[in-house]
Chains A and B, each alone.
Chain A
Amino acid sequence: MTSDNDRRGGLLARLRGRPAARSRGRRRLGAAVRLIAALTLAGGAYTVFAPGVQAQENPPLTGAAAEGKALFDVSCVTCHGRNAQGVEGRGPSLVGVGSASVEFQVGSGRMPMARQEAQAMRKPPVFTDEQVRQLGQYIQELGGGPQVPAGNDLHRNADMAAGGELFRINCSQCHAFGGGGGALSSGKYAPSLKPASDRQIYAAMLSGPQNMPVFGDNQITPEQKADIIAYIQETLKHDQDQGGFNLGRYGPSTEGLAIFLIGIVALVFASLWIAGKS
């Protein structure tokens, strides 16, 4: 087990080295990348409509997807298997999960996992955004699946109030009213929404990572998703704590702690002083 980890660690270290060496070239070829992105979109659309494409041994891959496959074959293949077919007892098949899932899992650092646990934790991401996109493209072309729309700001002109209503019906039971997350059964938990970007929230809703239910576009429309994201980003995260320090927004638990640790302690010190011999 340890040797396995070591080997993976070594690979990751190598991977981290690579993008730095290539970044200059990529910058110069900015236009080319945009072209590739357009191509990958087209490719993605193609894979969705091409039946049985995952069954083929060597599907034709676009440039970005080929890069993604290269990354996949070094970093993910151990658990998710050749061509992302999954390995029994180690990792599920990724065929058909779509780039949304990759974007969420890899983009938030949850994948690659350090070890098998009840739940993957958010960590500093191992891959750059570009690499995540390439990986996503690869998975997308393998078996299709949900995709996050383009752009980093997915909640422009959205309706915060409608988003709040939807948030309370669909999200707050696990992620809590304040978005701070909460416990699930047997060591699992719903993570805090604080570090999540627009794209990650969108991807999570689309793909239903781990134990989160799937909220597909048929159930919550893209407009409604934008509303929810607007509510999370603008209301919950933009620090709307009107009443002072929010005590972590853990609700009455920390409020109770505060009254003893601050209120009672301060007043006991005051009474010690008042009644003390002068």
Chain B
Amino acid sequence: MKRRKFDAAALPAKTAGAVDDRFQVATPLRKLLNKVFPDHWSFLLGEIALFSFVVLLMTGVFLTFFYEPAMTEVVYNGSYAPLRGTPMSAAYASSLDLSFDVRGGLIMRQMHHWAALLFMAAIVVHMMRVFFTGAFRKPRETNWIIGSLLFWVGFLAGFTGYSLPDDGLSGTGLRIASGIMLSIPVIGSWLTSSIFGGEFPGEIIISRFFIAHVLLIPGLLVALISAHLGLVFKQKHTQWPGPGRTNENVVGERMFPRYALKQGGFFMVVFGVIALMGGLFQINPIWYFGPYEAWVVSAASQPDWYVMFLDGSTRLMPAWQINIPIGDGYVIPPLFWPTVVLPGILVGLSTMYPFLEARQLKDYKHHNLLQRPRDVPARTAVGAMAVAFYIVLTLSGGNDVIADKFHISLNAMTWAGRIGLLVVPPLAYYVAYRLCLGLQQHDREVLAHGVETGIIKRLPDGRFVEVHQPLAAADHDGHGELDYVGWVVPKKMNRLGALGPAIRGFFYPIERPAEAPVSPGHPPVEPRPEREEITSGERR
């Protein structure tokens, strides 16, 4: 047999051919590489959550190598002197070892925790983007529901993880969680006893939380995230209205060559920010908290930020206890309403919102173009109301810290929260609504009369008027005939190119190389002929 010379250059092609022979991937891969993604900064917010999740998986796997999920009592004998000789659970001891006796363990722990906070924060910010731009409308209701579920599953992941070190602070959180479960009518005590394996705290809860935190919940998260991304791929991303953009197309960049590079780079940036925070900012210093002991507590005991709104609602709840005088008597404690009923309502409202809105507006069409928040004042106002509600609750969750550091009475903070919860959301609704209307009005004004030039002209009769640059050829009474198409209206002269090309560069101006062609991104002062062709796609 003749020995062939090894041809390195032909190797990739050969391998690719061999792979396609077996898996027939060439066509689907071509489709994937060619897929067009619209480009806007707000479309990258969800990616932050996705990339933090990847960091969470990586750092989390590292932590499991050293963490021992057991409540067996041991006497700590590690490096950290102020706790040496203290009896504690094996879980807490191993968390301390992770921080003090595993080389680089502390930064991994801190990165894991910061990534968790970032994951939840990015989910919330992304959710707000989707809400305020109407990206949840048909056909994307399912993905909105999956996204909302991701928040709640992430919430569970966060809470179970927060409890694992079994330190004084997280143990207090666990104690409250058991109180919340106890408060559920009829089944409360059975549920709590079953989850904790007896009376609180029992000896099993950390092991159970561990398996939930490292297997069940991440599994669910991976499944939901895959479904979420799969649907984005299948349904294609929404886009803002604009020149050439319709409800039937996607205008943007293909996955290859540029979009994929940007995504890869952004992943590294998210990873880098988490690493910086994990190293530079201390988070959850468990060695101060000591082991969990039922009689130990600290001032300013708070959960992580995404649970704080529930803590806030609990703090604001008046002491309304419902006694049911049947038999020996039964009771529904006040803890039940803000911690079980309220989240239930929030889950229901948030997942059902797309359907509620569609029903309200009788709008059952497909929508692939986003809406500017100002163009849908009612939705924007409802969103502002929800955000205000959430912020009041979250602030109330830290009201003792605010009271202490700003020298306000704690009782006054509670009352401010109670009143604020009723007053601020409607106020936010009203203000947001008026802001939207005002912005809309201004857009229409500019379209009708043109851009303010800053040039003041004195008329023969002595009046002063400002010269406006119309955006389109004016009709006989000086008014343009442009319709609003749901996208940014230029409101400054240099947006029209009047003052020369806009300055390029993000932090400092970049001089345009002379030989490069002029980008068409800046429309000239004269209305462009194709402007008439622009449609939002909504008005077809």
Are A and B genuine complex partners?
Answer: yes
A residues within 8 Å of B by Cβ?
Answer: 118, 160-161, 163-165, 168-169, 172-178, 180-187, 189-190, 231, 234-236, 240-247, 249-253, 255-260, 262-264, 266-268, 270-278
Query: Counting CB contacts under 8 A, is B386 at the interface?
Result: no
A243 and B299 contact, Cβ closer than 8 Å, known pairs A231-B82, A253-B401, A267-B273: no
A241: nearest residue on chain B (CB-CB)?
B282
B299–A264 touching, CB < 8 Å: no
B86–A251 touching, CB < 8 Å: no
User: Could you give, for residues 156-198 of chain B, a 1 whenever the CB lies within 8 Å of some chain A CB and a 0 otherwise?
Assistant: 0000000000001100000000000000000000000000000
Query: Counting CB contacts under 8 A, is B361 at the interface?
Result: no
Chain B residues whose C-beta falls within 8 Å of the C-beta of A266 in the assembled complex: 273
A186–B409 touching, CB < 8 Å: yes
User: Could you give, for residues 408-432 of chain B, a 1 whenever the CB lies within 8 Å of some chain A CB and a 0 otherwise?
Assistant: 1111100000000000000000000
Q: In the complex, what distance in Å separates the CA atom of A8 from the CA atom of B347?
A: 61
Which residue from B106, B273, B289 sits with its C-beta under 8 Å from A243? B106
What is the interface size of chain B, counting residues whose CB is below 8 A from a CB of the partner?
78
A256–B265 touching, CB < 8 Å: no
Chain A residues whose C-beta falls within 8 Å of the C-beta of B299 in the assembled complex: 172-176, 181-183, 190
Given contacts A164-B86, A267-B270, 5 further A-B contacts (CB under 8 A): A161-B81, A165-B86, A181-B299, A243-B110, A259-B121
B283–A176 touching, CB < 8 Å: no
Say whether chain A's binding surface is mostly helix, strand, loop, or mixed: helix
The 3 closest A-B pairs by CB, nearest first: A182-B299, A256-B305, A243-B282
Q: In the complex, what distance in Å separates the CA atom of A259 from the CA atom of B302?
A: 16
Q: How far is the CB of B309 from chain A (nearest CB, A)?
A: 11
Say whether chain B's binding surface is mostly helix, strand, loop, or mixed: helix
A264–B86 touching, CB < 8 Å: no
Q: How far is the CB of A108 from chain B (nearest CB, A)?
A: 17
A263: nearest residue on chain B (CB-CB)?
B118
> Restricting to B302-319, which residues have a CB under 8 Å from any CB of A?
302-306, 308
Q: How far is the CB of A78 from chain B (nearest CB, A)?
A: 25
> Restricting to B260-308, which residues have a CB under 8 Å from any CB of A?
262, 265-266, 269-270, 273-274, 277, 279-285, 287-290, 293, 295-306, 308
Query: Counting CB contacts under 8 A, is B43 at the interface?
Result: yes
Chain B residues whose C-beta falls within 8 Å of the C-beta of A177 in the assembled complex: 168-169, 288-290, 298
26 contacts between A and B (CB under 8 A): A160-B82, A165-B290, A168-B168, A172-B298, A173-B299, A177-B169, A177-B290, A178-B288, A240-B82, A241-B282, A243-B285, A244-B282, A250-B401, A251-B169, A255-B283, A255-B304, A258-B281, A259-B114, A266-B273, A267-B48, A267-B270, A270-B266, A271-B41, A271-B44, A275-B43, A276-B506
Q: How far is the CB of B60 from chain A (nearest CB, A)?
A: 18
Q: In the complex, what distance in Å separates the CA atom of A69 from the CA atom of B156?
A: 64
Q: How far is the CB of A246 from chain B (nearest CB, A)?
A: 5
A260–B121 touching, CB < 8 Å: yes
Query: Counting CB contacts under 8 A, is B234 at the interface?
Result: no
A187–B409 touching, CB < 8 Å: yes
Q: In the complex, what distance in Å separates the CA atom of A266 from the CA atom of B274?
A: 11
Q: In the complex, what distance in Å separates the CA atom of A263 from the CA atom of B120?
A: 12
Q: In the complex, what distance in Å separates the CA atom of A77 from the CA atom of B428?
A: 54
Q: How far is the CB of A67 from chain B (nearest CB, A)?
A: 35
A185–B410 touching, CB < 8 Å: yes
Query: Counting CB contacts under 8 A, is B99 at the interface?
Result: yes
Q: In the complex, what distance in Å separates the CA atom of A190 from the CA atom of B280?
A: 29
Q: In the complex, what distance in Å separates the CA atom of A160 from the CA atom of B110?
A: 26
Q: In the complex, what distance in Å separates the CA atom of A148 from the CA atom of B259?
A: 71
Query: Counting CB contacts under 8 A, is B224 at the interface?
Result: no
A251 and B39 contact, Cβ closer than 8 Å, known pairs A164-B83, A271-B44: no
B519: nearest residue on chain A (CB-CB)?
A277
